[in-house]
Amino acid sequence: MGFKIFMLVLALIVLQLQYRLWIGDASVWKIQEYQQRLHSLQQDIQQKKQRNDALYAEVKDLRKGKEAIEERARYDLGMIKENETFFQVLE
């Protein structure tokens, strides 16, 4: 009688562990899903880091001198200096 109870308890423990392995929050599929999501988030972070680095470099250039400011004024706003001749080349 004691052996049957022991086997029943052991079988229930194994079933509970199998449930957690295949269906629960820490299941194989959930772990794969979490890993894919983590990979996607790491890619997003990398892209945003590159964008932030580019913006930081641009801010650094703008703080450094007039050349960067003049360049942005020319290309983004179409401004020209006094006594400067503007040529537009159409391709």
Nearest-angstrom CA–CA distance, 76 and 4: 83
- Provide the domain count of the chain: 1
Does some domain include residue 46?
yes
pLDDT at residue 36, as a whole number: 96
pTM above threshold 0.85: no
pLDDT for 87: 74
pLDDT at 82: 81
> Does residue 41 lie within any of the structural domains?
yes
In this predicted structure, what is the pLDDT of residue 12? 93
Q: Is the distance from CB of 2 to CB of 8 less than 8 angstroms? A: no
Contacts of 80 (CB under 8 A, 6+ apart): 74, 86
Tell me whether residue 1 is in a domain.
no
Chunked in runs of 10, what are the mean pLDDT values of the chain (91 residues)?
A: 87 87 80 93 97 91 77 78 78 77
Residue by residue, DSSP assigns 67-79 as: HHHHHHHHHHH--
Distance of CA 38 to the CA centre of its chain: 9
* Residue that has been written with the tokens 């801010």 in this structure: 59
Q: Is residue 48 part of a domain?
A: yes
In a domain, 87, yes or no: no
CA 8 to chain centroid: 49
